[in-house]
Structure 1
Amino acid sequence: MGQNDCARIRLDETRANIDHILTILAEKRVPVLVVGTAAYDYCSSTLSAGHGADYAGPFSRMFSELAAKHGDLLYPDFKEGVTGHPELLQADRDHPNAAGDAITVINMLPVVQALLARVDHP
């Protein structure tokens, strides 16, 4: 569930799906790291999927709101440090290349370490 959802799933359905998954994981006491992402630019104009100009903001906020609701850790934007840097992207100008992946790993490492600290070790 993420950026591609706007082309085929309404935002309220995406939110409900993520909320449901997080509820199940919370019931099972599974530590979670919610990783957010920004909506694609075209999402705000995808009227066929029932979206409008108000899609991008609520989409981005959804991740932090659901993480807070369930007491989960949050990494707000998967592509932080990569977006806007074409040299860090594959030819599709969307997915990170190896250098972009390295930046993502470095940026996410502290929150992944915080997640690991929440795991009960036998």
Structure 2
Amino acid sequence: MALASLALGTLVTGQAQAAGQPGNSKKTGKDRLILVLGDSLSAEYGLARGSGWVALLQQQLERERIAAQVVNASISGDTTSGGRARLAALLTNHRPSHVIIELGGNDALRGLPLQHTQDNLAWMTQQAQAAGAQVLLLGMQVPPNYGSDYGRRFSQLFADVAREHKAALVPFFLQGVADVPQAAQWFQADRIHPNAQAQPLMLANVWPALRKLLR
């Protein structure tokens, strides 16, 4: 569990990986575009290009012959405020049918108010849905040293946003990676970012929920 806290340390420095109503997306086939809005956990930080879970997602789609394109708009160190500031332009430029929001870990790392994080996630979910996209939220958890009450409320805010706005949810994006006894094997030398071997596990946490939306 100690590494779960380190997994929240999505470094502040870094580069971008890539430059309607809920459930009402009208895009089908090759018109479908999945926009991933995340931080370093999705931006291939410390990994060879093309080995992160987002790149593996595109390969998964191709293997299952699901016609959809993935755009990775993740930036290392990003917060929910950063994602909120970038989202409007991304929706306009890419017109996604699905939006995966993987943000919030850096908010906790910086000690930002939980209500601030929840409000930003809710706003992004609403804006994506208003643009005709289905939304999938990737939840995070914090370790015990944050306090049991804070940890409970932090993980709960993702569920609250998903329930209120009828969005899909992965309760813990790093399940099986940061919450297992031998967690060190799944992390890079910095003990912060998941390594290449962990990326398929991360995709496995996302894929069932996303596949339901793509159906």
Report the TM-score range of the alignment, normalised by the length of the smaller protein: 0.7 to 0.9
What is the one-letter code of the residue matched to 1:19? A
Distance 1:42 1:5, change over 3 A: farther
Corresponding residue of 2:202 = 104
Once the two structures are superposed, residues 12-53 of structure 1 have per-residue CA deviations (whole angstroms, 9 ceiling, x without a partner) of 111111111111122223101110010255544xxxxxxxx6
Q: Aligned with 1:55: secondary structure?
A: helix
What is the one-letter code of the residue matched to 1:5? D
- The reply to whether residue 39 of structure 1 matches residue 134 of structure 2 is no
Q: What are the within-5 Å matches in structure 2 for residues 1-122 of structure 1?
A: 1-6=103-108, 7-44=110-147, 54-83=149-178, 84=180, 85-117=183-215
The answer to whether the 8 A contact 1:3-1:40 is kept is no
Cα distance, 1:107 vs structure 2: 2.9
Which consecutive unaligned segments of at least 5 residues does structure 1 have? 45-52, 118-122
Which consecutive unaligned segments of at least 5 residues does structure 2 have? 1-102
Identity %: 30
Bigger proportion of residues as strand: 2
Q: Aligned with 2:137: secondary structure?
A: strand
Q: Aligned with 2:155: secondary structure?
A: helix
Distance 1:4 1:40, change over 3 A: farther
Q: Aligned with 1:94: secondary structure?
A: coil
What is the one-letter code of the residue matched to 1:34? L
State TM-score, norm by structure 1: 0.79
Bigger proportion of residues as helix: 1
CA distance in 2, matches of 1:32, 1:80: 20
CA distance in 1, matches of 2:198, 2:139: 17
Q: Which runs of 4+ in 1 moved over 6 A?
A: none
Cα distance, 1:91 vs structure 2: 1.4
Kindly report the root-mean-square deviation, in angstroms, between the aligned alpha carbons of the 2 structures.
1.7
Larger relative contact order (Cα-Cα within 8 Å, sequence gap ≥ 6): 2
